[in-house]
A and B are shown apart, each in its own frame.
Chain A
Amino acid sequence: MRLYAQMLLLLRHEWRLVLRSSPNTRWLWWLGLVILAVTVVGGFIFRQATLNLPTIPDVLPTGVLIFFSLGLIFIFSIMVSTAIHSAVQMLFERTDMDLLLSSPLDTRLVLASRGIWLAITCFFTVAIFMIPLTLAAMIFVDLRLFGAIPALIALAFLAAGLGLITTLGLVRLIGAKRTRTVAQVIGALFGASIYLLTQFSRFINLENFPWLSSIFMQVSRLEGSNPLFIPARAIWLNPLSTVILLAFGLIFFFGSVQLTHRAFLRGATASILGGKIKPPSKITAFASSLELNVFRKEWRLVLRDPMLISQTLLQFIYLIPMFLAFFGGSSRSSPSGFNLQAIGTYPLLVVAAILAGGSLAQSITQIMVAAEDAAELIRMSPNAGNRIRNAKLLAALLPIWGLFIPLIIWRGLLDPKHFFILLGFAAVTIFGGLMILWTAKPFVRSDFKQHARKQHWLVGLALFFLSVAWSAALLLPLWLPFWWSIPAVIFGLGIPAMTYWLTKGNSSLGY
């Protein structure tokens, strides 16, 4: 079989696996069709609309190029995060690798086909929002903005190459088994990096970081023809920049395939689950109560699941800027450069504790309560299911309480009104947890992402309003008389009461 035919065979194989990996992906293809239709219609409209548009110069000003570059950096961070996540799955979690590697196909071709699908995955991850945006920009600004599409394709290949290098580099450094966990965490960190940067910039006083200011100044003085702006100029469909970016993306991609080929073989052939027998682990004393037993088991399972770690870690990362708020009041003359004294910390703390802390608690409760891999084992035991479910809820909430409550108490000692936050925080975590307990449907841990999407919209809405109600109860007295909080509290109590009434406090978790 010729090389291109083999490649087509492999790509078609990947296509089938992707299509059938989840029934939920079907909507994506429908969305793709809609986007295609919109593109055709949009193109037609464009022909009519552009006749009267003012002409824009071929060379864009530096300010616009910087804006485009920042946009591309943001998109690239999403792509790299996607590439790392997907590389772990495509290279190590597919069960067809043994079959492919034992076939007479060139293993470089196998890796390249996986890599191309990685690039396609990266492209479509951002295409969902970038294609309509590009289309709109083409219609209402300039046709040359079509350059965003080849630029995205080039970035997708770059991200895929980087994903391969990161994942397979980790295989070489720490072995295939640990790579899954570490790569998922790195992917999560990469995905959140831009968010963190934007959030830190709100809290950092640039005067305390002269080197950072100097970089900003130097970039703003660069000329439009500077090579740093090649990706930005490609968005404007500058022919040379587009060709250079595409060529660089493809060369980097195929170079990374060549570079990582050996690590790929090593990682793929070493069983992800097997490997060397580990030295015996230290055995801790058995738990003395059912609650402690459940706590240990649940956290062991979460901490050993790469996907769950990355998901939980991601939520912690998104909480970091909120946590800065906790330290704001005490860093009035901090030499570290944090400048929070201007922000009223109470509203920020309410948001941090109620919205962010509440959603983190609910997410962990969801995992521990609904993702039970051996529900029948629990059902066979001589325990009331209610006791186990409550123990799981406690296991989920205790660490969250341990994280937030000392901070809230500390802030309360500095300013007593912060003690009210404890009330709202306790209500949101306990009521939210109970509502999940009553409404959650069982799911397999590996389907966590899909399950989160499948949560009944009414439950999601009820949890959202629970947080809103308790935030309102704590915030309204800042601007209105105290009694304005009473309806919010009643609403905040009514939502869980209504959920209990509708479910009769029963559970459909299967244990």
Chain B
Amino acid sequence: MDVTTLALQLQGLTKRFGNKNAVHNLSLEVQNGELFAFLGANGAGKTTTLRMIAGLLEPDGGDALVLGQSIRHAPQAAKTGLAYLPDDPLLYGKLRPMEHLEFVAGLWNMPPLEAQQRAEDWLQKLGLWENRGELIEGFSRGMKQKMALAAALIHQPKLMILDEPLTGLDASAARQVKDLLQNYVQQGNTVILTTHILEVAERLATRIGIISAGQLRALGTLEELRALSGEQGSLEDVFLELTREVGEK
């Protein structure tokens, strides 16, 4: 496969914590323009994998190529086109929304005028413009999640990685985020997300990867996973079937 069409390439990624293999020899390719869902039970190794891709954890083995750039050997180049949104949003409570976005845009070396315009646009799109005079610490969980999303999007990343982006959001905010992610992918960008809400993965994801005990157990479209598991039901049935098999092994 042409490397330039790949948003993410994992090559035998491995991470150990003590004697435990959190992620073991994980290889995976995600193409540009995909919305890839990463599923797995708690402690399966999803977040560890995402944190290695984002450059927050040093892998013990293997490498992650973000838009063709190695996160181990060219971390700054790799991070330029990447945004990572952890499940606990990284926000400064004592800053106002525009101030927070100013800081994040500055970290990604954006031209100030363009950054300011983009910040205003995102706050308006996400319904936070009216709250621009408040400190972020006073925001609700959903508003904070949207704020973090605006911060992730401000530098126009080509690849966005989201860990449980819909946790704590009400129905309206969740719909807003889902629509936003779909639009974002339609513009040729790539999204990788983890979620426990399987219905979200079922509706949004182009492909799904199921991880268990730090290893990739299944990979493909929903139809391919159905075929693999022999289940014809929902993704929940397929997921439970595939992870049950692993558990029994």
Contacts and interface: CB of A to CB of B under 8 A. Distances in A.
Interface string B107-139: 111001101100100000000001111110110
A378 B91 CA distance: 11
Contacts of B104: 377, 381
A378 B107 contact: yes
B132 A281 contact: yes
A402 interface: no
A304 interface: yes
B107 A290 contact: yes
Contact of B108 (A283, A285, A296, A382): A382
B107 A381 contact: yes
A382 B79 contact: yes
B90 A296 contact: no
Contacts of B92: 297, 301, 373-374
Given A293-B102, A297-B99, A286 B94 contact: no
B197 interface: no
Where chain A touches its partner, the secondary structure class is loop
A304 B93 CA distance: 10
Of the listed residues A287, A382, A384, the one surrounded by the most CB atoms of chain B closer than 10 A to its CB is: A382
Contacts of A289: 106
B68 interface: no
A278 B105 contact: no
A305 B94 contact: yes
B103 A293 contact: yes
Contacts of A378: 107
A290 B132 contact: no
Given A281-B133, A382-B79, A287 B91 contact: no
A374 B84 CA distance: 13
Interface string A58-75: 000000000000000000
A301 B55 contact: no
B56 A280 contact: no
Contact of A277 (B93, B95, B116, B131): B131
Given A376-B90, A380-B55, A384-B76, A286 B134 contact: no
A456 interface: no
A502 B171 CA distance: 54
Count chain B CB atoms within 10 A of each CB in A287, A294, A384 and give the residue with the most: A287
A324 to B, nearest CB: 33
A274 B138 contact: yes
Contacts of B77: 382
Given A380-B55, A382-B77, A382-B80, A286 B116 contact: yes
A511 to B, nearest CB: 10
B112 A287 contact: yes
Nearest to B139: A273
Contacts of B107: 290, 293, 377-378, 381-383, 388
B197 to A, nearest CB: 24
Given A281-B133, A376-B90, A293 B80 contact: no
Nearest to A288: B112
B94 A301 contact: yes
Interface string B63-100: 00000000000011101101110100011111110110
Interface residues of A, number: 36
Contact of B94 (A287, A304, A383, A384): A304
A53 to B, nearest CB: 59
B119 to A, nearest CB: 8
Given A280-B133, A300-B95, A373-B93, A379 B56 contact: yes
Most buried by B among A274, A288, A376: A376
Given A301-B95, A381-B107, A273 B132 contact: no
Contacts of B79: 380-382
B54 interface: yes
A379 B119 CA distance: 21
A275 B138 CA distance: 9
A115 B134 CA distance: 32
A416 interface: no
Interface string A160-185: 00000000000000000000000000
B109 A290 contact: yes
B141 to A, nearest CB: 13
A286 B54 contact: no
A289 B151 CA distance: 18
A279 interface: yes
A277 B134 contact: yes
A6 to B, nearest CB: 33
Interface string B51-62: 000111000000
B116 A300 contact: no
Nearest to A373: B92
Interface string A383-410: 1100010000000000000000000000
Nearest to B120: A283
A270 to B, nearest CB: 12
Given A382-B77, A383-B76, A281 B96 contact: yes
A287 B102 contact: yes
Contact of A374 (B83, B91, B134): B91
A290 B79 CA distance: 17
Nearest to B79: A382
B25 to A, nearest CB: 25
Given A273-B138, A274-B138, A382-B109, A376 B86 contact: yes
A380 B91 contact: no
B159 to A, nearest CB: 12
Given A304-B94, A381-B107, A296 B99 contact: yes
Nearest to B96: A281
A273 B137 contact: yes
Going nearest first, the 4 A-B pairs with the smallest beta carbon separation are A293-B106, A381-B107, A286-B112, A278-B133
Given A280-B133, A287-B112, 8 more contacts: A277-B134, A280-B132, A281-B133, A304-B94, A373-B92, A377-B90, A377-B104, A382-B77
